Amino acid sequence: MNDLGRVGLEVLEIYGAVCNRVLRVAEAALPEPQFKAFRRLVLDEFGEQGAAKQVKRLFKLSTGNGQERNGVAL
C-alpha cells in the first residue's frame, strides 16, 4: 500500500472513532427510539454510503464492499 493509502486508512480510523464517540454521547442523552433514529441518520450520512465512501474515493481506497483493502479492515 502506498503512502496515500496509509493516510487514507488513518483518516478513516480517526473518522470512525469520532463517529463512535458522537453516537455514545447521543445514546446517553436521547431516549431509545430517538437514539435509534439519530444513529440511522448518522450512519447514513457518515458511514459506508455517505462521507466514508467519499473519503475512500479521495484516497483511492477500495469502495467495493467497504470491508477491507489489501487485507486491512476498514
Higher per-residue pLDDT: 74 or 29: 29
Q: What is the pLDDT of residue 72?
A: 44
Q: What is the pLDDT of residue 53?
A: 92
pTM exceeding the 0.75 threshold for the entire prediction: no
Strand partners, 73: 68
Q: What is the pLDDT of residue 24?
A: 98
The percent of residues above 90 in pLDDT, for the chain, comes to 61
Give the whole-angstrom CA distance, residue 36 versus residue 39.
5
DSSP 68: E
b/e map 39-67, b = 16+ CB within 10 Å: eeebeeebbeeeebeebbeebebebeeee
Kindly give the interhelix angle for 51-58 and 3-29, rounded to the nearest 10 degrees: 170
